[in-house]
């Protein structure tokens, strides 16, 4: 069995203070994909670089206290790719790819457009650039899981207040259409929605009001996987027994041996 966890920690130092380090061990995960490290390499302790002796590979943003992604794995990867090869995005630390035999696991942090119109434009540029990359990865014929914070809720079921958010970043028609094409046209599988068609599966809650307590959430964290790997998905859950950040870890188990 292969267990892959994806978690936006909204600052790894903060998440570690809230028990994320201990969670990695008790979760039994084989691979953990982390987003929003919000740390430079010099800020990472040894436990943050290689938790519990796992292999760690990270891509930090140039800007301090911002973005950054990592992949932790029990098995040493055969190869690692940092960034997508486009400076505008790579300086923000948004992509790490690790290959293990026939398996590829990516930690992805797709830009958010909520803070300013120019950030929404950057998000659209990322979507335009990343779509052909998803097509190329799919064409490799490998077993691939692209895990992370995609910052898009695809369908009405994926957020509580869908009627009130149709003009907001993360649920704009263009964004929803894009992720729909990733699934329908490119043939990627949204594992959660495939396993649980009727379960919302929220993974993020605003810090405003009582969003978390009232479960007024969004499902914006995904494991998008190739068809062959999707067929081996056994179960998934959103881990809410502890709260490490404004996101909750998405845990998927696959009947798969690396």
Q: Would you name the residues annotated as active-site residues? A: 109, 149, 247
43 is in an annotated binding site: no
247 is in an annotated binding site: yes
CA-based max dimension of the chain: 46
Helix (H, G, I), strand (E, B) or coil at 108: strand
99 is in an annotated binding site: no
36 is in an annotated binding site: yes
149 is in an annotated binding site: yes
Report the C-alpha gap between 20 and 171 in whole angstroms.
29
Report the C-alpha gap between 111 and 120 in whole angstroms.
8
41 is in an annotated binding site: no
User: In this structure, are strands 95-100 and 79-82 parallel, antiparallel, or unpaired?
Assistant: antiparallel
Would you list the DSSP string of 6-46?
EEE-SSHHHHHHTTHHHHHHHHT-SEEEEE---S-GGG--H
Query: Minimal CA–CA distance to 146: which of 209, 216, 98, 211?
Result: 98
Helix (H, G, I), strand (E, B) or coil at 204: strand
The pair of three-digit structure tokens given for residue 122, joined into one six-digit string: 């950057």
Report the C-alpha gap between 156 and 153 in whole angstroms.
8
Report the C-alpha gap between 80 and 194 in whole angstroms.
29
Spatial contact of 111 and 92, defined as CB atoms under 8 Å apart: yes
Q: Would you list which residues are annotated within the binding site?
A: 8, 36, 149, 151, 246-247
């Amino acid at each position: 069995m292969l267990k892959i966890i994806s978690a936006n920690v909204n600052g790894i130092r903060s998440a570690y203070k809230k028990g994320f380090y201990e969670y990695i061990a008790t979760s039994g995960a084989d691979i953990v994909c982390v987003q929003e490290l919000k740390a430079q390499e010099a800020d990472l302790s040894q436990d943050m670089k290689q938790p519990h002796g796992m292999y760690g590979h990270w891509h930090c943003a140039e800007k301090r206290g911002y973005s950054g992604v990592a992949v932790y794995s029990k098995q040493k990867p055969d190869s690692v790719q940092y960034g997508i090869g486009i400076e505008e995005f790579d300086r923000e630390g948004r992509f790490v790819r690790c290959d293990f035999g026939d398996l590829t696991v990516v930690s992805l942090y797709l830009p958010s457009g909520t803070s300013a119109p120019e950030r929404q434009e950057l998000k659209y540029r990322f979507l335009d650039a990343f779509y052909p990359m998803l097509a190329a990865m799919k064409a490799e014929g490998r077993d691939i899981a692209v895990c992370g914070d995609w910052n898009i809720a695809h369908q009405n079921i994926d957020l509580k207040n869908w009627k009130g958010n149709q003009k907001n970043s993360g649920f704009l028609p263009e964004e929803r259409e894009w992720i729909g094409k990733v699934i329908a046209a490119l043939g990627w599988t949204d594992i959660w929605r495939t396993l649980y068609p009727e379960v919302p599966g929220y993974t993020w809650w605003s810090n405003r009001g009582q969003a978390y307590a009232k479960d007024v959430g969004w499902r914006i964290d995904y494991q998008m996987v190739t068809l062959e790997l999707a067929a081996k998905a056994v179960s998934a859950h959103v881990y809410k027994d502890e709260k490490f950040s404004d996101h909750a870890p998405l845990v998927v188990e696959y009947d798969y041996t690396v």
